[in-house]
């Protein structure tokens, strides 16, 4: 697992002129540098465009000032001085040989011990080609460690993921491959394990005897914006469910690991994926609901329907919303539904998990016109971070009526201001060699095999009701009915709405 506190490495960012590098990677590296977490390092930006080192360094500086800490210190010049640029053709061996020569020079100049991080921040269709060239053109022949960091999507389905994995494995072993899921870098997602395994009041209750259902919501207010071409091929199922949503479910459902090591945690997550009840063709509509946003008004502005967005087919069958019921067929979770929902152009931006505990066997405080609220544990992931425990207590006064009360922990204030971004944490983990919060191939393969059946049914069935939810709503009515038939309802995503429940 973790090795040196201040890692030493040459970081090569393929796609260095792209949006991800600009918005996330450069500011994250600067934050690590400013906090003294990077020791000896250098960065090579790799992209097609012709740029000089000076022009590239200026871009990095602008990126940090626009997207990073507003209080940018004087040390930014020292930081950007370690950035170099290489204009590159991903299919041309001579280009890789020149990159290899530059790498060796920088390694010698900065004393980087032959350590290499290859970060592929570009279109996934180039992942396999780059990995094969890195091997063929000897960029992976290093005296230190070599690690490949790749962004999602990892394939388009199980078969394409297998092909990609085979290509990458020609150059890197599984323990050298770091598949990023930025949700796993979020503070409160990492806190799921702590909440469960460090609290005597929760772990004994974390099973089908005491929990009635678990709900995981990730809603966005944005539409597809300029990502229409990508989204048409992916949809919400591939873009969100196959990775982020299933990863959160695995952390909520896994058994306590023997030790908090990468291998043990991953092993328990894989067991959850294996226990997921497969959804057969005829059952897809019983367990899953899809939606596509219509036009609407958000922030007092008219917004278009998905089919009217740029690069989108006017008769598109692509889903921008998914709600599903997952069953985990093991001893701990038999009979407990895990409900997931994710969508674009929804009422509010929110990622949260609601664990609903079962009602007490006999309600001593029953009143015909009033019911005692169930106990809930709510884990807030974004935009706010924290935990809320919903309990029942006696009102002040003479009566014995039970009234709902909330115990809140918010990850705000002074500590919150310094909470590092998900990318900052994941970059640091990849430099240190800690793969705990990255996805293993077994997780990728099992999640694709679960999702593929659903996407195949949806792609071969035109959804006549599209568009079926207005922008600014909480999704299609069918998603509410999915829970109603089990006797549940979606808990609202805003605290104001919860209080009015």
- H or E element in which residue 435 lies: none
The count of C-alpha atoms lying within 13 angstroms of the C-alpha of 445, restricted to the half-sphere facing its C-beta, is: 12
CA quadruple 205, 480, 458, 163: dihedral sign:
negative
Q: 182 labelled as ligand-binding?
A: yes
Q: Is 462 marked as a binding-site residue?
A: no
**285: phi then psi, degrees, rounded to nearest 5:** -75, -15
Q: What is d(CA 106, CA 101) in angstroms, rounded to the nearest whole number? A: 9
Eight-class DSSP state of 276: B
436 C-beta neighbours (distance < 10 Å), count: 17
Could you tell me the sign of the dihedral formed by the alpha carbons of 152, 157, 160, 162, in that order?
Answer: positive
Residue 54 is given by DSSP the state: H
Ligand-binding annotation for 90, yes or no, is yes
Alpha carbons within 13 angstroms on the beta-carbon side of residue 494 total: 10
Instruction: Judge whether 152 is annotated as a binding position.
Output: yes
Q: Identify the CA nearest to 422 among candidates 5, 8, 27.
A: 27
User: How many angstroms separate the CA atoms of 379 and 223, rounded?
Assistant: 25
The set of residues, in sequence order, having a beta carbon less than 8 Å from that of 53 and lying 6+ positions away, is 83, 84, 85
**Segments of 400-446 assigned E as strands:** 402-410
Q: Is 344 annotated as a binding residue?
A: yes
Alpha carbons 468 and 293: distance in angstroms, whole number: 6
Q: Check the annotation: does 220 bind a ligand.
A: yes
Residue 477 annotated as part of some ligand binding site:
no
- Residue 156 designated active-site: no
Is 239 annotated as contributing to ligand binding?
yes
DSSP 255: P
Contact 306, 467 (CB under 8 A): yes
CA-CA distance, 26 to 44, in Å (whole number)? 12
Catalytic entry in 244, 380, 390, 440: 244
In the DSSP assignment, the letter for residue 459 is: H
E-state strands within 156-300: 177-179, 211-219, 288-291, 293-298
Max CA distance (Å), the chain: 85
Would you tell me the crossing angle of helices 127-136 and 93-110 to the nearest 10 degrees?
A: 70
Are 237 and 455 in contact by the 8 Å Cβ rule? The answer is yes
Contact 236, 224 (CB under 8 A): no
Pairing status of strand 376-382 against strand 350-357: antiparallel
- Binding-site members for substrate are 182, 186, 220, 239, 344, 349
Could you tell me which residues are annotated as the binding site for NADP(+)? 48, 89-90, 152
- Give the active site residues: 244
Provide the annotated binding site. Answer: 48, 89-90, 152, 182, 186, 220, 239, 344, 349
């Amino acid at each position: 697992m973790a090795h040196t506190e201040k890692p030493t490495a040459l970081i090569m960012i393929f796609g260095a002129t792209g949006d991800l590098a600009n918005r996330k990677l450069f500011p994250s590296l600067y934050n690590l540098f400013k906090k003294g977490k990077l020791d000896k390092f250098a960065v090579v930006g790799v992209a097609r465009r012709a740029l000089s080192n000076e022009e590239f360094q200026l871009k990095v500086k602008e990126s940090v000032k626009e997207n990073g800490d507003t209080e940018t210190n004087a040390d930014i010049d020292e930081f950007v001085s370690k950035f170099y640029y290489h204009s590159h053709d991903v299919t041309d061996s001579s280009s890789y040989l020149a990159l290899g020569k530059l790498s060796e020079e920088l390694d010698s100049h900065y004393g980087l011990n032959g350590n290499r991080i290859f970060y592929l921040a570009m279109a996934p269709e180039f992942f396999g080609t780059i990995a094969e060239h890195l091997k063929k053109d000897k960029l992976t022949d290093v005296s230190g460690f070599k690690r490949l960091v790749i962004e999602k999507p990892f394939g388009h389905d199980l078969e394409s993921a297998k092909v990609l994995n085979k290509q990458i494995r020609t150059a890197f072993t599984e323990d050298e491959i770091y598949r990023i899921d930025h949700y796993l870098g979020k503070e409160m997602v990492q806190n799921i394990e702590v909440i469960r395994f460090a609290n005597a009041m929760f772990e004994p209750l974390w099973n089908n005897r005491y929990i009635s259902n678990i709900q995981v919501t990730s809603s966005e207010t944005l539409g597809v914006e300029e990502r229409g071409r990508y989204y048409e091929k992916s949809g919400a199922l591939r873009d969100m469910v196959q990775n982020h949503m299933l990863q959160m479910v695995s952390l909520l459902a896994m058994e306590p690991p023997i030790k908090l090591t990468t291998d043990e945690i991953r092993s328990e997550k894989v067991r959850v994926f294996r226990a997921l009840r497969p959804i057969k063709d005829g059952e897809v509509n019983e367990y899953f609901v899809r939606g596509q946003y219509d036009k609407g008004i958000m922030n007092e502005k008219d917004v278009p329907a998905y089919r009217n967005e740029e690069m989108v087919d006017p008769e598109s069958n692509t889903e921008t919303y998914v709600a599903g019921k997952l069953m985990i067929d093991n001893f701990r979770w038999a009979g407990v539904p895990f409900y997931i929902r994710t969508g674009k152009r929804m009422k509010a931006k929110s990622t949260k998990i609601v664990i609903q505990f079962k009602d007490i066997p006999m309600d001593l405080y029953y009143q015909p016109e009033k019911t005692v609220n169930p106990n809930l544990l709510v884990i807030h992931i974004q935009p706010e971070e924290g935990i809320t425990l919903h309990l029942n207590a006696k009102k002040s006064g003479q009566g014995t009526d039970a009234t709902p009360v909330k115990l809140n922990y918010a990850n705000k204030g002074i500590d919150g201001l310094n909470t590092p971004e998900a990318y900052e944490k994941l970059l640091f983990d990849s430099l240190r060699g800690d793969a705990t919060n990255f996805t293993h191939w077994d997780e990728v393969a099992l999640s694709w095999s679960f999702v593929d059946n659903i996407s195949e049914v949806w792609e071969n069935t035109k959804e006549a009701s599209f568009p079926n939810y207005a922008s600014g709503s909480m999704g299609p009515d069918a998603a509410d009915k999915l829970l109603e038939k089990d006797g549940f309802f979606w808990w609202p995503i805003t605290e104001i709405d919860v209080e009015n429940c």
